[in-house]
Amino acid sequence: MSAPRLFGTNGVRGVVNQELTSELALQMGKAIGTVMKGTVAVAADTRASGHMIRAALSAGLMSVGVHVVILGVVPTPALQYYVKTRDNVSGGVMITASHNPPQFNGIKCISADGTEASKEEEREIEILFDTEIPTRSWDEIGTIDHVNEAGKEYVNAVLSNVDTDTIKNANLTVCLDCANGAAFETAPSMLKKLQIKTVTLNCNAQGEFPGRPSEPTEENLSDLITLMKNTNASLGIAHDGDADRCVFITEKGDFVSGDKSLALLAKLELSKKKGKVVTPVSSSSMVEEVVNKEGGTLVYTAVGSPIVARKMKECGAIFGGEENGGLIFPDMQYCRDGAMTVAKMLECIAIYGPLSEQVAELPVYYTQKRKLACPNGLKDSVIEYLKDAVTDANIDDTDGLKIIYDDGWVLVRPSGTEPIFRVYSESKNEAVSVSRADEYESMVAKFLESR
């Protein structure tokens, strides 16, 4: 149940020069290199600390004989595509803390097939991390090369997986917010190739994220929402810091939750081919209702894109993703892919019409999302307390606790990346959704106060 000591839901993260130091990065490089061997590709988002962490990690990799390929600043899925398509590359490392504030950074490991590293690979790295790792002699240390075309290659691959002619003929205009992050070059380039008029916001690379916080939540996207309300654009696009996720704003300036994007693009993919769609237990029941209506089958997993991706491979799913805007298109690759999400949404609008009209046709559910500060050491205790306290509903323990009622559900789960506890509540009755969120948030808060 507890998160591993180093790796959380999405790699190793921490505040730079506090938890995440150059010494840690150096030792991580040695451990990762000992496990992956051969050639390892390394990329980063735009964070100010990226050069320091990358340099230390690369030194560790080379010290154990690994050849390092530096891709520069590119989105996480661009690195993953590069690794996936090279037989001579044994893995990858992305220097990113995704949506976390700029004082954070992280180290995310990529397997040879381009997926995020498995828990088994992470455990092997963790075990080595705590040991004295042997290094090579001076004439056996690794070398380093720089590759500048990974972003361009990634964009071309994305475009090969969508109906570009239909998109071009739709004469769309978009407003693009890259959060001063890793999509600052690839996203405008892709839209240009699709002949889409683009108004840009926060599309310069700046690792302090001065334009807005890197998490693309509704409250963080006020500038983009205002821009959409004052233009005739067809779509607002907002990436997170490493551009593996994306959320949208309608042509009317309304925020579209990740659940709704997931449902709409599931519908698009199921219109082409029937099959399974995979999503975590945190996703709205709206997704299941849409998937069932379109002749598909929904499969639930624990939260975490690597878990979703591996379940998709296992069951041959045609599509999958999370409620945070991280969507996975297996025809491209088994990972969250912000550029593919943008391209598919543009195709969806070109085929089915304005986004606001598509959203209006979705089943209506009301979802509350809360979070409480919670020390990592108390996360297990919270779950055990709730297991004993809840006696009036069905329990699903796939991830945390999902308490299922006749008229909705509540999910209470620990974050795998931060010292917080999340409380989700959903119902077709808004008042029920709010009251249950209040109830469980209060239960968790009172328990934590008593410890």
Residues classed as catalytic: 98
Look up residue 108 and give its two tokens.
């995310």
Give the number of other CB atoms < 10 A from CB of residue 4.
Answer: 14
How do beta strands 12-15 and 104-110 pair? antiparallel
304 Cα distance to chain centroid: 8
> How many Cα atoms within 13 Å fall on the side-chain side of residue 20?
26
Question: In degrees rounded to 5, what are phi and psi of residue 259?
Answer: -60, -40
> 3-class SS at 77?
helix
Q: What are the counts of helices (DSSP H) followed by strands (DSSP E) for the chain? A: 15, 20
DSSP assignment of 226-286: HHHHTS--SEEEEE-TTSS-EEEE-TTS-EE-HHHHHHHHHHHHHHH---EEEEETTS-HH
Look up residue 55 and give its two tokens.
């340099």
How far, in Å, CA of 76 to CA of 10, rounded? Answer: 12
Letter for the amino acid at 314?
Answer: E
Residues sharing a CB contact under 8 Å with residue 245, sequence separation 6 or more, in sequence order: 98, 99, 216, 239, 258, 324, 325, 326, 336, 338, 341
Residue with tokens 């600043």: 73
